Structure formats: structure tokens, C-alpha cells
Amino acid sequence: MEPIGLTLQQARQKRRLKLKTISKKTKISIRYLKALEAEDWDVFPAPAYTQGFLRSYANFLNLDSDELVREYKKYLETTTKVPVAERLIPKRIRPKRLAILPVAISIIVLIVWGGWFLFFRPSSPPVVEVIEEEKAPLTLKAIALEEVWVSITVDEREEIQELLKAGDEKTWEAENKLEIRVGNAGGIELELNGEPLGSPGERGQVVTKTFVREKEE
């Protein structure tokens, strides 16, 4: 099979389409479209984003999106990854900097452990208690990895329905309670007050999550 980027570029040029036109149709930024055609994977924040954008772009060009995503996953498997700790330590380290290495390694361990916990934790209850010292609003941010339908209820009053495309980002705020119903739980990632929660469920799964402020005693 030809390289992923070349396959996308040739299909686009064959249909005489401009990146600007495709960006408007797919809601994928021109920057990411160029990165896909150039196979510049470092531009994307995470492999999940890359796969979502790649699938959407391929589907728009009537290409076999599953095959292209499989090729991308093969690339991930064959790419030699240097351990994070090793990348952070220069080849030549000045003696006075040796003292900060234990602190840096501890931070790395905490980050890796936190990511493992978020990814492999068991399903959480539908209600999440949020503890805050100040009366700041509840802020829920959604990042679409692929097309997904969501329904948002703010403080049990206002209901908002959205159809998000891959790459779309939406933010909602509430004083005390936010409820989100997702039609494709694996195609979206959530952040609550700046804290990443990951995907609320599996691809194609319908999931409802409720976030409330903890009541003061």
C-alpha cells in the first residue's frame, strides 16, 4: 500500500479539491489536513486525535478509512519510542543539575501513573461530586474525536443539543449541575474544570454523565 499521506493527497488532487474546501466540509483545520498529507504526526496532540481526523478525511475522500487507520497503527507499533525519562536527560549533564533529576523523575512517575489510572479505572457512577473552595462555575469541555451527538442540560433548566464533527470543541458552564448525554461515547473526550476525564464510554455506546457541585454543610 502507498504511504498514507500520498494516498490522501492523490485522492484529493484527483477530485480537484482544495484544502480550504475540505476544511469547511469536514470541520478539520487546514493545519491538520496538511499534517495528514505530510504524515507529520507530531502536530497532533495524541494518537486518538490523529486516528479520528484521519478517518474523517479518508471517509470524505471515499477512501478505505479502516485500512488507513490500520496503517497508522502499524506505524505506531514500529516506531522506536525513547523512554520519557531518557528524553528529558541530556547526554552531557552539568554536575549542578544532577540534584533536580530525582524531582523530575518523580514528576514523570506521577504523570504516567495518573494517565494509567484515568485510562484503566472502572466505570464511575453517573454523578461526580466537585469540591471547590470558591463559587466558580462548573465548566465542561468536550473535544470530538469523530462525529458525535450530545445533549446538555444546564442547572436542570436549559437543554442544548449539538452534533459535533471530528475536531470540534464545545464548552458549557453551570452554577450547580451539568448533565451530558452522548450518542457515541468513545468518539468524544471530556474535561471538567480543566481536568481531563477521557472518553465517557465505548464507541457507539450511549452514556449519560451528571456533574454537580458538592453542597456546603
Mind listing the pLDDT tens digit for each residue in 114-136?
554 454 444 444 544 444 445 67
160 pLDDT more than 50: yes
| pTM of this prediction exceeds 0.85 | no
**DSSP secondary structure letter of residue 3:** -
* Residue 166: alpha-carbon gap to chain centroid: 10
209 pLDDT more than 80: yes
Domain, as residue range, for 91? 84-120
Number of domains forming the structure of the chain: 3
Q: For the purposes of burial, counting CB atoms within 10 Å of the CB of 190, is it exposed (0-12), middle (13-18) or buried (19 or more)?
A: buried
63 and 11 in one domain?
Answer: yes
Angstrom distance (rounded) from CA 186 to CA 26: 19
Mind listing the pLDDT tens digit for each residue in 58-86?
999 999 999 999 999 998 888 755 444 44
Mind listing the pLDDT tens digit for each residue in 18-60?
999 999 988 899 999 999 999 999 989 888 889 999 999 999 9
* Residue 155: alpha-carbon gap to chain centroid: 26
Q: Quote the mean pLDDT of the chain.
A: 79
Residue 29 grid cell: 483545520
What's the CATH code of the domain at 174?
A: 2.60.40
